[in-house]
Amino acid sequence: SQQGEEDPQALSIQEGENATMNCSYKTSINNLQWYRQNSGRGLVHLILIRSNEREKHSGRLRVTLDTSKKSSSLLITASRAADTASYFCATDTGRRALTFGSGTRLQVQP
Amino acid sequence: EAQVTQNPRYLITVTGKKLTVTCSQNMNHEYMSWYRQDPGLGLRQIYYSMNVEVTDKGDVPEGYKVSRKEKRNFPLILESPSPNQTSLYFCASSPWYQETQYFGPGTRLLVL
């Protein structure tokens, strides 16, 4: 069964706008990770947030984690056309087996 | 260059014809894993390996085999492929001290 579910499934914005993607999960986790995938290519790790953290930043990325609601959000600020990709959250319950959601497809219009 | 490589990248085969997809990493990582990606389902883990000669089932292991005889290689074996194994397959690796994973470029498999 899927652990993470992303919302929305698809998002289209203009360059310069912010993009927010949400992820919900079902069981307790050690950490939650966000990955990016360009059109059928391999996934690239973006950011990891541990279960005892509430917010983390990396460049234009901001991730929040609410373990009481079992949810996380990924914010990309000042988006660029090159940010067009699919974004996946993945939960790690402690045995290194990442469980991925079905992803959010982000389209950034130039 | 540090990377995870997979071969072949694209494969068309017929039902029942045994095939192997190779995965190799040059980063001396202990952990390796195979995932399949299907539309609307995200990535699902097939098998993983914590180190040489140590493998375990993931969420969808049926119809697949793996082996880890060397640290750098983690081949995925489909002994008798079926059309429901048509998918995009990814290999990933990570060092023992790091939870994030490095993914290969993917292998697109079509079973007729």
Distance from CA of A96 to the nearest CA of B (A): 7
Kindly report which listed range (A38-42, A58-62, A76-80, B13-17) carries the lowest average pLDDT score. A38-42
pLDDT tens-digit readout, A15-65 = 999 999 999 999 899 999 999 999 878 899 999 999 999 999 999 999 999
Cα end-to-end span (Å), chain B: 36
Write out the residues of chain A at the interface with chain B, using a CB-CB cutoff of 8 A.
Answer: 2, 4, 30-31, 33, 35, 40-45, 48, 88, 90, 92, 96-103
Tell me the torsion sign for CA atoms B18, B74, A39, B37: positive
Say whether A48 and B59 touch across the interface (CB within 8 A): no
Is 60 exceeded by the pLDDT of residue B89? Answer: yes
Q: Is B72 on the interface with A (CB under 8 A)?
A: no
Cα–Cα distance measured from residue A9 to residue A77, given in angstroms and rounded to the nearest whole number: 19
In a mutational test of the B interface, the residue from A3, A26, A46, A98 whose CB has the highest number of chain B CBs within 10 Å is: A98
pLDDT computed for residue A96 by the predictor: 74
The more confident residue out of A5 and A107 is A107
A1: pLDDT strictly greater than 70: no
Question: Does A40 contact B108 at a Cβ distance shorter than 8 Å?
Answer: yes
Output the six-digit token pair for B85.
């194994």
User: Is residue B48 within 8 angstroms of chain A, CB to CB?
Assistant: yes
A102:B42 CB<8 A: yes
What is the rounded CA–CA span in Å between residue A27 and residue A51? 12
What is the pLDDT, as a whole number, of residue A7? 87
Q: What is the mean pLDDT of chain B?
A: 95
Query: Cα separation of B103 and B25, whole Å?
Result: 10
Predicted local confidence at residue B35, as pLDDT: 96
Q: Say how far apart CA B82 and CA B111 lie, in whole Å.
A: 6
Cα(A109)–Cα(B39) distance, integer angstroms: 24
**pLDDT tens per residue across span B20-64:** 999 999 999 999 999 999 988 889 999 999 999 999 999 899 999
Q: Which residues of B81-90 are buried (b: 16+ CB within 10 A; e: fewer)?
A: beeebbbbbb
Pairing type for strands A85-92 and A71-76 reads unpaired
Minimum-distance CB partner of B100 among A42, A45, A100 = A45
**Pairing assessment for the beta strands B31-38 and B54-57 based on DSSP bridges:** unpaired
Q: Give the Cα separation of B109 and B112 in Å (integer).
A: 10
B42 touching A (Cβ < 8 Å): yes
Provide the pLDDT for residue A3.
58
Query: Is a pLDDT exceeding 80 seen at residue A94?
Result: no
Contact check, Cβ <8 Å, B58/A103: no
